[in-house]
Structure 1
Amino acid sequence: MASRCFMRKWETCRLASVFLTELTSNSTRCSNLIRDVSTALSSTHSIAMFEPKSVWGFREYHDGRPRGPLWRGKKLIGKEALFVISGLKRFKDEEDTLHKFIKTHVLRLLKMDLIAVLTELERQQEVSLALMVFNVMQKQDWYKPDMFLYKDLIIALARAKRMDDVLQLWESMRKENLFPDSQTYTEVIRGFLSNGSPADAMNIYEDMKNSPDPPEELPFRILLKGLLPHPLLRNKVKQDFEEIFPDSSIYDPPQEIFGAR
């Protein structure tokens, strides 16, 4: 009886020993596995930091497209439009080649692509090319007078100090019975004043007074500031300003600064 109890205790101890041995072995294997995975991940991370083109055994190739906002903006322009923009800029100094390119590529563009080309050329300040594209656009069957098309091109020309082109485009716009907004008046008036042409600035001002839209203060203030060396013209504008905006004030510098009498 005593020997039987002893054998049972011995068997229990042996099983416990085997269980602990197996548990320890499994724990060691789990630890080794975790350590191996951690090492692999660390190695991959370090490789990715210094060799971004080799990750998990695959190679990533740069497709040549610029990253960031530039490419997101170009996604809105079709491939045909991008090709035309590139070609126009490439041949802009070769008159014969440029006209051939316009006939063979620009004229075949769809309406939205042609508008996209015009907008992008204005954004890049390629105003001569933008003016050519606008002239092509006016000859299309689908063309209808649009103030916004005129506005962007006129502002681009004024900022480039192409005031002769601004006058021609302005006359074309008025023949189509279109009136610009306050921003357009402001930029054109500022352009003529910077160009030393106060008479042309006053002509635009008279046109602004005949606009069906109510005037805003900004073009008046730009004109009042630019006409400081011309007190007679300035007084006329000042009188109109005080009638239209009775609650607004005007800063008048000392008259002797500009020799006004």
Structure 2
Amino acid sequence: MAFRCFTRKSETRRRLASFFLGDFTSKTTKTINPISDVSTTLSLRQIVSVFEYKNVCGGFREYHDGRPRGPLWRGKKLIGKEALFVISGLKRFKDDEEKLPKFIKTHVLRLLKMDLIAVLTELERQQEVSLALTVFKVMQRQDWYKPDIFLYKDLIIALARAKRMDDVLQLWESMKKENLFPDSQAYTEVIRGFLSSGSPADAMNIYEDMKSSPDPPEELPFRILLKGLLPHPLLRNKVKQDFEEIFPDSSIYDPPQEIFGAR
């Protein structure tokens, strides 16, 4: 088996060398300057060496540089080593009530601003919402912290998708105290989360906040609310009237009344 692999490698090298040398001689027969010939020869040798280095024998590569493959490595390159160490430690001690506060005190509080934001973003991406909420509270106690709607928005959306609606409500109230208003995506996810958890009253409270937002509303949160309020026709009619006033050129599909319980 080893002899066959070695034979294939030798044949492949000879074919590549003959191919490039033939192409090289055909293109350089009319060349007069010897310096350009030397530079071209060097580039040819470099090309052949690259092909020899990346040669594949029996379907397996002959080398491996030790780095993981795929998008995971490309994402981790944007995060510093200290931030990666903190993320790993937080996940390791997340169920340990004694070690987690000590780890936060000794390592999380030492992070710079951008590293701490990177830790928060990565925990949200990994759906470690409890740890992300803990890191956000640590961030709020820093001297450099200023209310930022994007930090609130990403964390609220992550909590809503994880069905952590009690935490969403607390974070939402904190955001309102800082006079921040999220965008349509945040309203949509939070309204959907409250409706799917069986809390139409909380969904209507978020809806009222959306109407008082300085940004103009969009159709998607209205349609999510109209669909989720089918079992509650009184609330749905109120939202429908507002929708028709704000979007007079848009239409709403009303299913038969017996579907949503109207008598």
TM-score normalised to structure 2 length: 0.79
Provide the C-alpha distance between the structure 2 equivalents of 1:201 and 1:125, rounded to a whole number of angstroms. Answer: 23
Asked if the contact 2:54–2:61 (Cα under 8 Å) also holds between the matched residues in 1, the reply is: no
User: Aligned runs of 1:1-261 on 2, under 5 Å?
Assistant: 39=11, 41=13, 48-50=56-58, 52-53=61-62, 60-63=63-66, 65-261=67-263
Q: What secondary structure, in the 3-state scheme, does the structure 1 residue paired with 2:84 have?
A: helix
Provide the C-alpha distance between the structure 1 equivalents of 2:206 and 2:14, rounded to a whole number of angstroms. Answer: 69
Amino acid at match of 2:61: P
Give the CA deviation at 1:70.
Answer: 1.1
Provide the C-alpha distance between the structure 1 equivalents of 2:12 and 2:173, rounded to a whole number of angstroms. Answer: 72
Structure 1 stretches of at least 4 aligned residues deviating more than 6 Å after TM superposition = 43-47
Q: What secondary structure, in the 3-state scheme, does the structure 2 residue paired with 1:122 have?
A: helix
Percent of aligned pairs sharing the same letter: 85
- Which has the higher Rg, Structure 1 or Structure 2? 1
Give the CA deviation at 1:38.
Answer: 6.6
Provide the C-alpha distance between the structure 2 equivalents of 1:237 and 1:61, rounded to a whole number of angstroms. Answer: 60
Name the CA shift for 1:167/1:40 in 2 (closer, same or farther; >3 Å). closer
Provide the C-alpha distance between the structure 2 equivalents of 1:73 and 1:230, rounded to a whole number of angstroms. Answer: 44
The total of aligned residue pairs comes to 218
Provide the C-alpha distance between the structure 2 equivalents of 1:46 and 1:66, rounded to a whole number of angstroms. Answer: 18
Amino acid at match of 1:52: R
Match of 1:57 in 2: none
Asked if the contact 2:190–2:203 (Cα under 8 Å) also holds between the matched residues in 1, the reply is: yes
Amino acid at match of 1:257: I
Provide the C-alpha distance between the structure 1 equivalents of 2:53 and 2:121, rounded to a whole number of angstroms. Answer: 44
**CA deviation string 1:155-208 (max 9, x = no partner):** 000000000000000000000000000000000000000000000000000000
Amino acid at match of 1:69: P
**CA deviation string 1:89-111 (max 9, x = no partner):** 00111011011000000000000
Question: Structure 1, unaligned stretches of length 5 or more?
Answer: 1-36, 54-59
Pairwise CA RMSD = 1.9
Asked if the contact 2:188–2:221 (Cα under 8 Å) also holds between the matched residues in 1, the reply is: yes
Amino acid at match of 2:56: A
Q: What secondary structure, in the 3-state scheme, does the structure 2 residue paired with 1:72 have?
A: helix
**CA deviation string 1:12-70 (max 9, x = no partner):** xxxxxxxxxxxxxxxxxxxxxxxxx97471696997323633xxxxxx4542x211221
Q: What secondary structure, in the 3-state scheme, does the structure 2 residue paired with 1:107 have?
A: helix
Provide the C-alpha distance between the structure 1 equivalents of 2:10 and 2:126, rounded to a whole number of angstroms. Answer: 51
Match of 2:24 in 1: none
Give the CA deviation at 1:209.
Answer: 0.4
Amino acid at match of 1:197: S
Provide the C-alpha distance between the structure 2 equivalents of 1:91 and 1:207, rounded to a whole number of angstroms. Answer: 37
Asked if the contact 2:147–2:178 (Cα under 8 Å) also holds between the matched residues in 1, the reply is: yes
Asked if the contact 2:153–2:186 (Cα under 8 Å) also holds between the matched residues in 1, the reply is: yes
Provide the C-alpha distance between the structure 1 equivalents of 2:195 and 2:12, rounded to a whole number of angstroms. Answer: 69
Asked if the contact 2:160–2:193 (Cα under 8 Å) also holds between the matched residues in 1, the reply is: yes
Provide the C-alpha distance between the structure 2 equivalents of 1:232 and 1:40, rounded to a whole number of angstroms. Answer: 77
Question: Structure 2, unaligned stretches of length 5 or more?
Answer: 1-8, 16-51
Q: What secondary structure, in the 3-state scheme, does the structure 2 residue paired with 1:191 have?
A: helix
